[in-house]
Structure 1
Amino acid sequence: MFDNLTDKLDKAFHILKGHGKITDVNVADTLKEVRRALLDADVNFKIAKDFTTRVKEKAIGENVLTTLQPGQLMVKIVKDELTELMGGDAEGVNLSGNPSVILMSGLQGSGKTTFSGKLANFLKTKKNKKPLLVACDIYRPAAINQLHVVGEQIGVEVYSEPENKNPVEIAQNAIKHAKSNGFNVVIVDTAGRLAVDEEMMNEIANVHKAIQPQETLFVVDSMTGQDAVNTAKAFNDRLNFDGVILTKLDGDTRGGAAISIKSVVNKPIKFIGTGEKMEAIDVFYPSRMADRILGMGDVVSLVERAQEQYDEEEARKLQKKIAKNEFGFDDFLSQIQQIKKMGNMKDLVGMIPGAGKALKDVEIEDDAFKHVEAIIYSMTPEERSKPTIIDSKRKIRIAKGSGTKVEQVNQLMKQFDQMGKMMKMMQGGAGKNLMRAMGGGMKGMR
């Protein structure tokens, strides 16, 4: 995410390295590179120019504290300005209605239908809501089918009238259905087009007027950069939406849309899509995103994701197994599954401060655990529960069964053994104190 921009900003701040204070000259050189980095990230020229002007005004004459170097101070100023540019504070979705009606808008191909499902899943699992998805795309039968598939996947009902060609009627009937069946959130997925046109705008404006939604969200593909910003402006001029959803942010190496869109339409980015899975949805926090753009990671989001997968009962059982030397490969597999639920590996690594930079040239695959899982699945139940019985003959069979080499099986066995020893050490006094401290900290963050 935003790899190119992060690299270029890092090089820009490098200009100040070794300087004892901030001057007109070294600030000008640094900000010239910052502006160039923003333009390369597909940020509008005026926004990039205004941004660097504000940073310069704050940096010049700033007293550099003895604990800070000029480069560090500049990073802080840029971080604060980036946070403001992207919206300042995080803004959630408005759920004040009964039911709360959310209207989804956007071009075809922006990921609107999929994100409608992700939002329904988010509200169901994180906000304890009972959402209803509504298929109002009367032009594309595949869109109705797609929404039904998504709904089935997440266990959310989908309302559709395939024979009805009036989206206003469908939306109104869906809200009646929601009221009489105990649904407290209605998410209306509307038709998209390949480009902004008058017919499309009139249609969605009519739906909007008829159902008076509490929340109108504009879904846009972040990878289209400046085009995404221009499309958002065209929609906002007609629809006056409440917030933006940026999809496909995990594949966006530039970041222009995320940085520019708020200042152009003056509407907050509310959610971001960070992958294909239904769980790949995050509330947009401008401050956390600024940290990630500047290569500082995002520990808070990482901890939140870990907490979502944290099962206290399972943790207690695991502790007992470790104490009795009964930790096996099934337990190891269970831990891997929990990590995978947290999101794609590249995204997770980007949340660890400094890791993105350190692993810049390392290809981080989403299926990083593929070989490990294949090896474990090739073991018999007995081998998984008692790894000590795995001899060289068994290793050859496991390697063949998993399509790997004996060396890879040996490597996994060695890593597993080292992990077991480390876990055993953690069961000791020092480990327990550390775990207690971490547990207390995590409880406080809930």
Structure 2
Amino acid sequence: MSEPRKPGLFGRLFGFGETPPPAPETPVPETTKAEPFAPAAEAPAAEAPPATPEPVAGPAADEAQSSREVPPAEPAPQPPPVEPPPPTPAPARPFFAAPAPPPAPQPEAPKESWIARLGKGLKRSSSAFGDKLGALFTKRKLDTATLDDLEDLLIESDLGVDTAAAIVARVSAGRYEKGIGEDDVRAILAEEVSARLMPVAKPLVIDPARKPHVVLVVGVNGSGKTTTIGKVAARLRREGKSVMLAAGDTFRAAAIEQLKIWGERTGSAVVARPQGSDASALVFDAFKEATAAGVDVLLIDTAGRLQNRTELMAELEKVIRVIRKQDASAPHDVLLVLDATTGQNALQQVEIFGRMAGVTGLAMTKLDGTARGGILVAIATKHKIPVHFIGVGEGVDDLAPFDAADFASAIAGVEK
């Protein structure tokens, strides 16, 4: 090892050039491999961790630092996991489960009588008349002006001029310039209407000597012919008669399908052909099948036609001629179905269909949908044609044989 060079004068004056003596070597303590991490429970709580020696510069210090293993940080203790409770086992079911008990039978609602249904059906007609009648006879003596107003009210209710005049005459008899109540006028109205309807209230009579008894059903578009046929068939079937239906309305596919549905409901045979077929040919085939089967009643549906269409009325006459080629006395009944909502137009329908088809009886439908139910009184007074059925709803039991007294009480709003 060479001796250190001595500094010169300038170096001694300013402290340069003198090499400082080397620093004594610091012994590096031997490092031992750290023990594996022990659980916290085994380590003494009060013992402090050993002091880490200061890092020493130099290659030896780097080697010692790299060979030292730093123990990992102690993880924080975690709470034990909460296990969910075990599922409750489902109760064991037998291999053959017992059937559930049937529900307790519910008591049937009492069936509403025909009189009650008729009163509800004619509520519009009776209310329209009664409201004006009440205003007319409130605190007012029976004078000429009151009688004139009453007659106008009766005519507006479609009862007809003759019926209105008769009722006014009965109201004024012995009561002129005296007070009269609304109930008195209603009672007189019911009596007069019943008297005019009684002669035409006749049921549809099926002749057992004729097999089949042919009933031809006619009317304008939308009057309810097909539905009426179905309801009449249901009534005849309940009476024990066999029935066949002929789908003579070949213009409307819906009418054919509707009649088939009624046939299924009532247990009646149905004769039908594709839409557009000749109606006369279908009626001819239906009569032959009904005769061969020996059915009691043949109900023939026809296409709706306006009474002022001469070509359509001529076609209806052709159907009748075809029927009479097989039975000169047929059709035995021609049932005209009237829509009560048409009002005064129904009078013209009765006149024209009666002349062209020989109408023998009436069925008035949709009395529950109008305030013009009094038109039936005007028809009966003028034409004297029997009224077989009236309808006040869509249900199969909402078409019933006509009763004059019940109808008169319902339209006048008088309880029987």
TM-score range, shorter chain: 0.5 to 0.7
List per-residue Cα deviations over 1:65-100 (Å, max 9, x = no partner).
xxxx77555433322221233354520113123221
Matched, 1:283 2:387: no
Alignment check: 8 A CA contact 1:135 1:159 kept: yes
List per-residue Cα deviations over 1:356-383 (Å, max 9, x = no partner).
xxxxxxxxxxxxxxxxxxxxxxxxxxxx
Structure 1 position 207, deviation (Å): 1.9
Matched, 1:117 2:230: yes
List per-residue Cα deviations over 1:36-85 (Å, max 9, x = no partner).
333333x27xx23x223222433444599xxxx77555433322221233
What is aligned with 1:34?
A: 150
Any idea what SS the aligned residue of 2:251 has? coil
Any idea what SS the aligned residue of 2:261 has? helix
List per-residue Cα deviations over 1:397-431 (Å, max 9, x = no partner).
xxxxxxxxxxxxxxxxxxxxxxxxxxxxxxxxxxx
Matched, 1:7 2:118: no
Structure 1 position 6, deviation (Å): 2.1
Matched, 1:208 2:320: yes
Q: Counterparts of 1:89 and 1:287 in 2: how far apart (Å)? A: 12
Q: Counterparts of 1:88 and 1:266 in 2: how far apart (Å)? A: 8
Larger helix fraction of residues: 1
What is aligned with 1:227?
A: 345
Q: Counterparts of 1:185 and 1:71 in 2: how far apart (Å)? A: 47
Matched, 1:186 2:307: no
What letter corresponds to residue 191 of structure 1 in structure 2? A
Structure 1 position 282, deviation (Å): 1.1
Matched, 1:86 2:197: yes
What is aligned with 1:102?
A: 215
The structure-2 alpha-carbon separation of the partners of 1:179 and 1:226, relative to structure 1 and needing over 3 Å to count, comes to same
Report 1:295-444 matches (<5 A).
295-297=413-415
List per-residue Cα deviations over 1:236-268 (Å, max 9, x = no partner).
222220111111112122314323222333312
The structure-2 alpha-carbon separation of the partners of 1:169 and 1:287, relative to structure 1 and needing over 3 Å to count, comes to same
Q: Counterparts of 1:228 and 1:235 in 2: how far apart (Å)? A: 10
What is aligned with 1:379?
A: none
Q: Counterparts of 1:108 and 1:89 in 2: how far apart (Å)? A: 25
Any idea what SS the aligned residue of 2:372 has? coil
The structure-2 alpha-carbon separation of the partners of 1:33 and 1:5, relative to structure 1 and needing over 3 Å to count, comes to farther
Matched, 1:155 2:276: no
**TM-score, structure 1 as length reference:** 0.57
Q: Counterparts of 2:375 and 2:308 in 1: how far apart (Å)? A: 18
Any idea what SS the aligned residue of 1:133 has? strand
What is aligned with 2:309?
A: 197
Q: Counterparts of 2:147 and 2:266 in 1: how far apart (Å)? A: 47
Any idea what SS the aligned residue of 1:267 has? coil
The structure-2 alpha-carbon separation of the partners of 1:196 and 1:70, relative to structure 1 and needing over 3 Å to count, comes to same
Structure 1 position 112, deviation (Å): 0.6
Structure exhibiting the larger radius of gyration computed from Cα positions: 2
What letter corresponds to residue 196 of structure 1 in structure 2? N
Alignment check: 8 A CA contact 1:113 1:146 kept: yes
Matched, 1:269 2:269: no
What is aligned with 2:250?
A: 138
Any idea what SS the aligned residue of 1:138 has? coil
Q: Counterparts of 1:278 and 1:139 in 2: how far apart (Å)? A: 25
Q: Which runs of 5+ in 2 are unaligned?
A: 1-120, 324-329
Alignment check: 8 A CA contact 2:147 2:172 kept: no
Alignment check: 8 A CA contact 2:229 2:299 kept: yes
Q: Counterparts of 1:51 and 1:145 in 2: how far apart (Å)? A: 42
What letter corresponds to residue 119 of structure 1 in structure 2? V
RMSD of aligned Cα (Å)? 2.9
What is aligned with 2:85?
A: none
Alignment check: 8 A CA contact 2:200 2:384 kept: no
Structure 1 position 8, deviation (Å): 4.9
Any idea what SS the aligned residue of 1:204 has? helix
The structure-2 alpha-carbon separation of the partners of 1:62 and 1:186, relative to structure 1 and needing over 3 Å to count, comes to farther
Q: Counterparts of 2:358 and 2:384 in 1: how far apart (Å)? A: 10
Any idea what SS the aligned residue of 1:83 has? helix
Alignment check: 8 A CA contact 1:101 1:214 kept: yes
The structure-2 alpha-carbon separation of the partners of 1:196 and 1:278, relative to structure 1 and needing over 3 Å to count, comes to farther
2:277 aligned residue (161, 165, 169): 165
Aligned pair count reads: 285
Q: Counterparts of 2:364 and 2:311 in 1: how far apart (Å)? A: 24
Alignment check: 8 A CA contact 1:89 1:287 kept: no
Alignment check: 8 A CA contact 1:137 1:167 kept: yes
Any idea what SS the aligned residue of 1:200 has? helix
